[in-house]
Homo-oligomer: A and B are copies of this chain.
Amino acid sequence: MSSDPIDDPQTAAIEQLEQFGLSAYAARTFVALEKLGTGTAIQVSSIADVPRTRVYDAVAELGDRGLVDVQHTVPKEFWAISAESTGRKFEREMAHRTATLTAALGDLEPVESRDEQRGVWTVDGRPAITDRVVEFLETAEDEIVYMSVEELLTGEVVDSLHAAADRGVEIKLAGLSPTVQARLQERIPEAELFDSLWLWSDTPAGRLLMVDGTETLVSVLIDDEQSSDSQQETAIWGAGETNSLVVVLKAIFTWRLGATGEEDC
């Protein structure tokens, strides 16, 4: 009995194989064979919890994918390719799939011209928001204004800031805590720091970004009603000179940045 199903390698492997499109039986059969090296239907069935009579279907599926070979004796014996080969095989398959997808998406002819962005868009979830932030940072040409709490300063964001600094983009940073300030200063010495202008101290702070005065993003952390210990991040963003969110944030930033140090309100 594998006691704790969480992060048990067997469970993890089966899960990934299913994600790659294998049936449940095939995935479990493959993992069993991986442990056995070689085995018969009965052996597989006993340790993989797959009905004996269906091991054959599963092996056929695995054979089509080039993951398992068969010995046509009685009883049949099955052999799985090595763990390293499996990894390489899937890596190549996935590379091929992503290439196909990218090519196909690139070949789609647009129905109409992609006009200027209007309105304010919302994104939910930390990974998606980080994606959007990084994307904005990568398109920056002149100026980046960025403010963030520590926990949201992931590596990719810092890397993007660094890359922007290297190509001559003016960077103005603010953190909500001295810790964050220090870390930013250390990683990106080119950046100009300014005092945090986050005035709503009881608001669960998130991030605040403006790029080239034309693209802005604001996020906040909200307590998740389901799991009380975790926080959910939600963000809004807008793009374009005349975008309402952009206009508002640009006004705020130029006002605060112009009057650095004056802390009245």
Using CB atoms, name the residue of chain B closest to A135.
B85
Partner of A97, one of B9, B83, B94, B123: B94
Tell me, rounded to whole Å, the shortest Cβ–Cβ distance linking A76 to chain B: 10
Contact call B66/A110, Cβ cutoff below 8 A: no
A151 at the interface (CB under 8 A from B): no
Scan A114-147; emit 1 where CB is below 8 A from any B CB, else 0: 1101011111110110011001000000000000
* Complex copy number for this chain: 2
A16-B101, A79-B117 known; 6 other A-B pairs, CB under 8 Å? A9-B108, A12-B104, A13-B108, A71-B121, A90-B101, A94-B94
Chain B: minimal CB distance from A115 (Å): 7
Give Cα A79–Cα B243 distance, bound, in whole angstroms: 15
* Cβ-closest chain B residue relative to A12: B104
Selected interface stretch from A34-42, A184-192, A247-255: A34-42
- Is there contact, CB below 8 Å, between A86 and B69? no
Contact between B35 and A131, CB atoms less than 8 A apart: no
